[in-house]
Amino acid sequence: MAGKEKDPGFGKVFTPHMLVQHYRNGAWQRSRIVRFGPFTLSPATVVFHYAQEIFEGFKAYRQPDGCVCMFRPDRNLARLNASATRLCMPPVDTKAVRADICRLIKRDRNHIPAPPQTLYVRPCMIATDTVIKVHPSPTYTFFVILSVVGDYFGGEDPRGVRLCTETEYVRAAPGGTGAAKCGGNYAASLAAQHHASRGGFDQVVWLDARERKYVEEMGGMNIMFVLDDTVVTPPLEGGSILPGVTRDSLLQLLRAGRRKVEERCIPVAELVAANKAGRLKEVFACGTAAVVTPIREIMHGKQVLYRNRRDKPGELTMRLRQQLVDIQFGRAPDPFGWRYPVPL
């Protein structure tokens, strides 16, 4: 599929090959690139029953000179291993996997789209033992698939997405798996998401599990608030938020630009009051899929937590997005060494 053809959407169009590697007898076996296609698995396979599964997601970007760079793959592979540790799964050799992913991209190089489309890299590890018993599986399959994805920005409204806080369900509790990228977290989020969309919202904002008092993150993105002249975002220390690579990149860009940044617990009540006082200037979400997503409204029950009264996204939201996307697509220098060239 050539890049300029019609919008592929997200996660629907796959390239012809995938990487597969099995783990048995305490070691990863040789990785193989094979045709993209189904696995045959016993109905008793552990992953079907006990959700011992983790995954990752990052992108490769076509550069102006025609070469291709992945964006911070090492961060994602380190996070994959952190998730593996949390779910009692074997870590991968990150350097070897990075090289394997390069080989896979090279193999499917005719499917790397032109900007603004990108190639989404989806590594995934599943438990493959076939015993119906809660236990860490002695065998695993690691695989990587590639998807041609479109450019996402702001949803249907240019001002961004509408959100509501979730005051009943929680995404992750202290000591839980919130900081790991495991499928179970996403399965547990579906009921809240379903309710929110029935109420006309695009997504929910998760609150802390103990008190439902502090903002945590969104279903697939971290969240940032521009409070007066400071960008504020929830901290990672509690272990219930996914440490987003986009979040980290934006914080680095903001700090390099001498913008005031705070990573701290943010009470919903503080935001409601700041919004009333006109101090909450912008709110945006960040994650690999959409990079930066403007937020136009957040409701907390019947209270307005934030509303964008302009007819366009905030200035800082737009500027940050442009800055990061320009680095990713190789249109701007890469002072932090985030681009990783894929030998084609």
Ligand X SMILES: Cc1ncc(COP(=O)(O)O)c(C=O)c1O
DSSP-derived letter for residue 88 is: T
- Label the pairing between strands 53-55 and 291-300: unpaired
The binder of ligand X chosen from 222, 240, 308, 317 (CB under 6 A)? 222
* CB proximity list for 321: less than 8 A, separation 6 or greater: 153, 291, 292
The binder of ligand X chosen from 51, 70, 242, 298 (CB under 6 A)? 242
Taking the least distance from each CB to ligand X, the nearer of 105 and 291 is 291
Residue the block writes with tokens 């006309």: 200
Least Å distance between CB 219 and ligand X? 6
- Label the pairing between strands 58-62 and 68-71: antiparallel
Least Å distance between CB 272 and ligand X? 23
Token pair for 317 = 């939201």
234 binds ligand X per the rule CB under 6 A: no
Least Å distance between CB 218 and ligand X? 7
What is the CB-side half-sphere exposure of residue 109 using CA atoms within 13 A?
A: 11
Mark the segment that binds ligand X (CB under 6 A) among 5-13, 215-223, 267-275, 303-311.
Answer: 215-223
245 binds ligand X per the rule CB under 6 A: yes
The binder of ligand X chosen from 8, 113, 154, 220 (CB under 6 A)? 220
Interaction pattern, residues 262-291, with ligand X; x per rule: CB under 6 A: -------------------------xx---
Chain positions 48 to 87 lying near ligand X, rule: CB under 6 A, are 57
CA angle 190, 156, 191 (to 5 degrees): 10
The binder of ligand X chosen from 13, 221, 254, 305 (CB under 6 A)? 221
- Minimal CB distance residue for ligand X: 244
247 binds ligand X per the rule CB under 6 A: yes
Taking the least distance from each CB to ligand X, the nearer of 149 and 274 is 149
Least Å distance between CB 147 and ligand X? 14
Angstrom distance (rounded) from CA 41 to CA 26: 20
Mark the segment that binds ligand X (CB under 6 A) among 16-24, 40-48, 63-71, 214-222.
Answer: 214-222
Taking the least distance from each CB to ligand X, the nearer of 2 and 190 is 190
Taking the least distance from each CB to ligand X, the nearer of 127 and 292 is 292
Angstrom distance (rounded) from CA 221 to CA 218: 5
Helical H segments across 257-309, by residue range: 268-276
246 binds ligand X per the rule CB under 6 A: yes
CB 203 within 8 A of CB 287: no
Ramachandran class of 8: left when φ > 0, alpha when ψ lies in -120 to 50, beta otherwise: alpha
Token pair for 17 = 């090959």
Taking the least distance from each CB to ligand X, the nearer of 80 and 299 is 80
Task: Please return the burial class of 26, using the count of CB atoms within 10 Å of its CB with bins 0-12, 13-18 and 19+.
Answer: exposed
The binder of ligand X chosen from 238, 244, 294, 313 (CB under 6 A)? 244
Angstrom distance (rounded) from CA 320 to CA 161: 17
Which three-class secondary structure state does DSSP give residue 182?
Answer: strand
Whole-angstrom CA distances from 167 to 209, 221, 253 are 9, 18, 32
Mark the segment that binds ligand X (CB under 6 A) among 105-113, 123-131, 237-245, 306-314.
Answer: 237-245
Taking the least distance from each CB to ligand X, the nearer of 23 and 58 is 58
- Contacts to ligand X by CB under 6 A: 57, 217, 220-222, 242, 244-247, 287-288
